[in-house]
Structure 1
């Protein structure tokens, strides 16, 4: 690995690596060994489904199962070592950047996977936009430390001038060649991967990205994990880089979706009873899709949420302005103070419902139907959110202001398991 230093305030510095990839002949299918990112897997149902899809499904590495955390991390490391010894996973013969494409219908995403030089937010090269939870960072750090691997890429975005030169040209040339792999996952997305090893093309990418700034679209906890592990390794080396997928949203815009909350210990009746005189509440006896449409209309006027879990949907909107003034921090920009996620956490969770932001109290679930189903099954409350506009996210990030964690879900997200990075090889 090239570990030459990078000056503060340089742009993105992406370098090739020897990707670990599944050997198709050793697994049932490439689709059967992939997984969504670790924090998108709906547990326990989605976890069990993935585990049963193939004995070598990547979920056994990103979400190992054991009674205690150290045992989980050790199990993942042992599993990775066994798969390498058995030839289930094999390292590519030479370092490469990887062009990644996924498409479904009219959705097309293309980007470059590589090892990115790590930088602090103060350097203005990679911008986070969400807060993180220390316990999750600690768990991901222990997993990476024990496996000595980056098991799934973060999703970062940047914006080019869209002139078709530099990295864009390299990507478009690569997709004209036969891919290293092609597979279609059960969600209908077709995934393809190409390698870039030509010195000239690598130089084109390097020069282009050296002028770019990136926004973390997905993977804030893993980015914080990268930074923690880099601090543990003071000498320049593989721990000073992290696996990422870079998407140029000037050419391939992402979709922004909301992440919903499941409040384990709060029945809907109790949640509604606590809202008297502080929010307007309306019961909606309509299907989920129609209820989400009503939420979208209400969100255009101000803060709005849908509560579910009792067989109906309840629109909660029009918060008391004096309540917001008392509960929302005043030392942040207006765009931050008026975020639905800000009001949810500062006003509803902290002040009205008094629910700690801890895993035993709150689960974060991307899928709308899944969170409603779990709430109804457990007698708990689902809080359905409307997505934030991408420009709001980017503007706040540039101001150095982070949103409450799990405020957004950019997508489509890369499939986990198509290419891994071993720090022992780098």
Structure 2
């Protein structure tokens, strides 16, 4: 299940990587910086959707692990309702805030103009993205990991076909890339809806009273999970706003670093959603030893994977920078990440494993606390000091070191949690 989740996430990030590569042929650093700023700040919407996905998948998988299929179906229906409402709300807040925020931080006029045009197209499709995420994870929670993978691949394949057409044939540039991404998300929902509703009938719609109760149960996990997930974009927004003070070249370089990081460490981003249902089902079945074994093996192999990826990035650092045709300080930023920052980033695997444990074993508040400590104490002073003493490269160094430190702290707390099965009260929080 981890491998199928990784394959689908790898495909998603590979297509985003290629999209930026196509934009690089325009040789316009303002466009590249705008797309990067938009994608990084829009992760606030994605984080809300991740929280709902974690809550819904955790309860559905537990119900299935306990053999209660009818309960799992009604929880799936409530999860989709909550996802639609949460994604709509998050998208509305984002659109209302992005213009005054970018004006307040003094974003370069060219970058800001491209950015506002870009997010006006992409943000409405965030609601579609959220529904697609939920459908995919309902399939994974029911043990259909391969079909869950194909749901996401439907969207990425659509974008992979459309991107070169809109860039090289239609000459639609950044806006063409934005519309292609929206069509890809519609394709994801189309296939996911057919599998979940038509083929497997995994969803029942609860009555009004039951819906309110189910929403409350899901929300007990989804809210802290969303707050935890929001910690990362909060840190990223502060960091990318700091990058913006160094000009379009650095913004373009930071965008490339973001896409390279996503692709290279795609396994990390899928860990909580991929191993969460496994932890939930084993906990529901009373298999505590399997819970600990899952965490131990996942931590070990994810860390080895990260160090291997960092080594490859260090070897090919100049070629990575050349691919995107970024010059000046932006190029220096890319090379520094590949040669040095990537090794610190390898430690982030421990953070994602710990978050999965906390969210699925009844300690969701731990996720929120550690996530926000990482986004504040692990980001603000490190990035500020890095910018003050090392410029744009110092910003990158500060962020990676701060994240690495709190990843170690997170796995240390996780180890204490795993010493014994959750208490009845803790278990009840995810029941």
Shared fold per TM-score greater than 0.5: no
> What TM-score comes out, normalization by structure 1 length?
0.22
Q: Which protein is richer in strand relative to its size?
A: 1
> What TM-score comes out, normalization by structure 2 length?
0.22
